Amino acid sequence: MSKTEIKSGANALVETLANCGVTHCFANPGTSEMHLVKALDNEPRIKSVLCLFEGVATGAADGFARMSGTPAMTLLHLGPGYGNALANIHNAMRAYSPMINVIGDHATYHRYLDAPLTSDIETLVKPHSSYIGAVETPAIAGDVAIKAYSKTISQAASPVSIILPADSAWGNDGIAHEKPAVPTSANVGEKIIKTVVDAVKSAKSPALLVGGDALYDENTIAILGAISEYGIRVLIDTFPARQRRGKNIFHPDKMLYFAEMAVEDLQKHDLLVLAGTQSPVAFFAYPNTPSYLVPEATKVIELSSRQQNTKDAIKSLANLLGLNAVKADHEVAPIPLPDGKINAYKIGKILARHLPNDAIISDDAVTCGLPIYTETRNANTHDWLFLTGGAIGQGLSLAIGAQMACPGRRTFALLGDGASMYNIQALWTMVREKLPIITFIFANRSYKILNIEMERTGAGAVGETAREMLSLETPSLDFVKIAEGMGMRAESVSACDELDNVLEHALTLNEPILIEICL
């Protein structure tokens, strides 16, 4: 179609996004979005994926962006639909994931009647949108779509919002636009890199804290390995968006989650260099514990910001230090099947025994996550996706987007039983789309992380009411029945050999499966 052809606002918006290379729309539409649904019906370049909850749609769009580097579109129904989607938009914002959230609104002449679903959508989306485009007339639909796409893929990639009133969707003055030029990240100046080199050489115990897409790339990680061998300790954010890891890949240390442990760990360093991340702070405030994790005696300097080309900056830093990338190449002994009572460390060993090459792991496992992460460092090469924003419940949804972005790979979703219930509707979409995702549910029948935090915050002794608030018993959740109710195959295991056998069989299936692990 010619870009000057007049069409509906909905068609202009959808066609423009398709011209920009948007290939997926994760949707939970309502009445106000019916013309958008029809526009998607007319656009074969965009695959529409129905999600039974808006948080599944935005979590899937986040996973898609993390693995593909390109934005997906979501379709949400008015202010309440956006509200349901918000937790995973928050996580996507912290992951710096490009995402185009299209929110349908009442017709412009209907908004002022205060109908039951009326809300101030622009105010709702503002805290989590780097761009807000209100399509007040169909004539500007294509222009708003272009601006939204350009902003979401900019150097500070993040979610954007398009608000489309119903009459702007059905009106017939829209014009589709072509894809704009894609911006590139700015390189760090040579003077800054030389300043960092001088600081590193003068420091007694320097450390480099790395975040962003430098952790996605094996070549950059190999350079980080050389920097580590030079004598600079390499750390990564506690919860980066994504990390490439596995046997024969350099494995940096991780910033510790608990604030007092992180402060103690950083005290050994007199210099902290930031690359593609910010200076670390505690997740929460605790009595008698600092919120800023870097000791006062430790100097902090920045090699690159999140908006700059961190991969190039790390390469330049290594060049000025006279370093070459270090490619590990060592044999990893076969991992024996653990025995005895099952726990998170043994689950990690079992997963490592069977993890296919180039797998993707969506980690929302909370207390089980770190032991499994530790035990899989020498598994086959894989990508690990983290809970960047701390809003638990994204794991199933994130796995959907990751699997759809990389259909030739195998995705695993790791979740605590409490976290899994936030977006449990994602199981239905996995079955509907025939996505071969393997889900582990760690059934410890409690919000275990909150039991730990109750002690750490000094809130006092746990009484009957507090115990009930942190327990998932009476009744216990039956994840086999929940999964089967959505059409998914499911198994429950409680021993190491049972998990090993079920996982081995699951990998022969080209369909989703849920494995409940009773701890």
- pLDDT 10s digit of each residue in the chain, 519 long? 444 688 999 999 999 999 999 999 999 999 999 999 999 999 999 999 999 999 999 999 999 999 999 999 999 999 999 999 999 999 999 999 999 999 999 999 999 999 999 999 999 999 999 999 999 999 999 999 999 999 999 877 899 999 999 999 999 999 999 999 988 889 999 999 999 999 999 999 999 999 999 999 999 999 999 999 999 999 999 999 999 999 999 999 999 998 899 999 999 999 999 999 999 999 888 888 889 999 999 999 999 999 999 999 999 999 999 998 877 777 778 899 999 899 999 999 999 999 999 999 999 998 899 999 999 999 999 999 999 999 999 999 999 999 999 999 999 999 999 999 999 999 999 999 999 999 999 998 755 566 666 555 666 666 777 666 677 777 889 999 999 999 999 999 999 999 999 999 999 999 999 999 998
- Residues 147 and 96 placed together within one structural domain of the fold: yes
- Residues 383 and 283 placed together within one structural domain of the fold: no
- Residue 479 is assigned to a structural domain of this protein: yes
- Dihedral of alpha carbons 185, 188, 189, 190, sign: negative
- Residue 332 is assigned to a structural domain of this protein: no
- Residue 449 is assigned to a structural domain of this protein: yes
- Residues 203 and 163 placed together within one structural domain of the fold: no
- Residue 181 is assigned to a structural domain of this protein: no
- Residues 372 and 489 placed together within one structural domain of the fold: yes
For residue 494, give the DSSP letter: -
- Residues 312 and 396 placed together within one structural domain of the fold: no
Containing structural domain, residue 458:
344-518
For residue 411, give the DSSP letter: E
The H or E element spanning position 315 is helix 310-320
- Residue 185 is assigned to a structural domain of this protein: no
- Residue 458 is assigned to a structural domain of this protein: yes
- Residues 104 and 137 placed together within one structural domain of the fold: yes
Q: Which two three-digit tokens encode residue 129?
A: 């949108």
- Residues 75 and 194 placed together within one structural domain of the fold: no
- Residues 220 and 304 placed together within one structural domain of the fold: yes
Spatial strand order of the sheet with 253-254 comes to 253-254, 233-236, 206-210, 271-275, 299-304
Residue the block writes with tokens 């950083």: 266
- Total number of domains in the chain: 3
End-to-end Cα, the chain, rounded Å: 58
- Residues 454 and 311 placed together within one structural domain of the fold: no
**How many whole angstroms separate alpha carbon 162 and alpha carbon 144?**
7
CATH of the domain at 114: 3.40.50.970
- Residues 196 and 301 placed together within one structural domain of the fold: yes
**How many whole angstroms separate alpha carbon 453 and alpha carbon 392?**
15
- Residues 369 and 505 placed together within one structural domain of the fold: yes
CATH of the domain at 254: 3.40.50.1220
Instruction: List Cβ neighbours of 261 (8 Å cut-off, separation of 6 or more).
Output: none
- Residue 238 is assigned to a structural domain of this protein: yes
- Residues 271 and 415 placed together within one structural domain of the fold: no
Q: Which two three-digit tokens encode residue 77?
A: 């129904």
The whole-model pTM stands at 0.94
- Residue 327 is assigned to a structural domain of this protein: no
